[in-house]
Structure formats: structure tokens, C-alpha cells
Amino acid sequence: MISQNQTLPAVSLTQLTEDGMQTLTNETLFAGKKVVLFAVPGAFTPTCSNAHLPEFITLADKIKANGVDAIYCVSVNDAFVMKAWGEAHNAQEIEMLADGDASFTKALGLDKDTAGFGGVRSTRYAMIVDDQKVTGLFVEQGKEFVVSRAEAVLAEL
């Protein structure tokens, strides 16, 4: 599993924009930026939709006021689902990124197999990334939802 003070692995994520499907590299997403990234097991799932994403939407301005250039939400879903999920929650301050084949999640060592529920998914976590280097890592244990909450991340900025 990736740890604090390590550089993110070079893996691409996708995003559906008005200009079509975009493939985004670590250079594009993280180079020269301070970013908060949070990952959820699945778009449109209960805790993710009722708490995790909404909390980051609510606190986005306060998070960015602490020198954060961007807030990214990542899930092992396709870019179409991530775009629709972001629109359903009016997540204008959050960039919704897809890890469709779980390559980013696996490279971080934060994947889990949910078997019949959905297959390979992401562990719930948040991280602070400064110029591609992880400066804060907050990984939930089991089904907990404590350390990756927006309030908890904000307190670490």
C-alpha cells in the first residue's frame, strides 16, 4: 500500500467533460498542485452518496481556502457514471475521476474485492497530495467512515 511521503504511481484516470472523454495523467492532475483526493467504493452507493461526496461538496470552499488547488473524487466506475453522479449531487467544486479498470487503485494497493457485490473496488480513503507526493493518507478500516471524512481531512490541512 502506498504510504505517506511516497510519490504517486504513474497511472492515468479518465474524466468525461463537455469536450468528450479525457485521459488524465499524474502530470496533468498533480504536478505543481496541492490536491485533496478522496476515493469511494462506488458511485451512487449509500454512504458514498449520502455522506462522503456531500461532505466534500459542503466543505470544498474551506478546503480550497487552505491552499488546495483541486479536490478529486475517484471511484472504480466508468467516466459516464462518475459524471452522472457528480451532476446528480451538483458537485461543481469536485472533479469526478474514473478508474474504470482499477489500475490507479491497484497501483496504490488500496483495492479490495467485494466479490458478488461489485468485484474489484476501492477502499474508502482520502489523501493530500503535494506535487505528486502523498503528504497525508487517511485509509478507512473495514466499513468505518471516520478518517476520510471531509472534516477530518480539513483538520489536517
pTM comes to 0.96
Q: Is 48 a catalytic residue?
A: yes
pLDDT, average across residues 79-106: 97
Best CATH choice for the domain 13-156 from the list 3.40.30.10, 4.10.520.10, 3.40.50.300, 3.30.750.200: 3.40.30.10
Q: What is the predicted pLDDT for the residue at 84?
A: 97
Q: From CA 118, how far away is CA 93, in angstroms rounded?
A: 28
Sorted by sequence, the CB contacts under 8 Å of residue 135 that are 6+ apart come out as 4, 5, 128, 129
Mean pLDDT over all residues of the chain? 96
Q: What is the predicted pLDDT for the residue at 50?
A: 96
Q: What is the predicted pLDDT for the residue at 115?
A: 75
The pLDDT of residue 118 is above 90: no
> pLDDT, tens digit, for every residue of 45-76?
999 999 999 999 999 999 999 999 999 999 99
Residue 32 in grid coordinates: 505543481
Confidence label for 113 from pLDDT (cuts 50, 70 and 90) = confident
The pLDDT of residue 117 is above 80: no
Distances in Å between the Cα of 12 and the Cα atoms of 27, 34, 79, 121 are 9, 18, 12, 17
Considering 29, 35, 48, 127, which one is annotated as catalytic?
A: 48
End-to-end CA distance of the chain: 22
> pLDDT, tens digit, for every residue of 16-28?
999 999 999 989 9
pLDDT, average across residues 28-57: 96
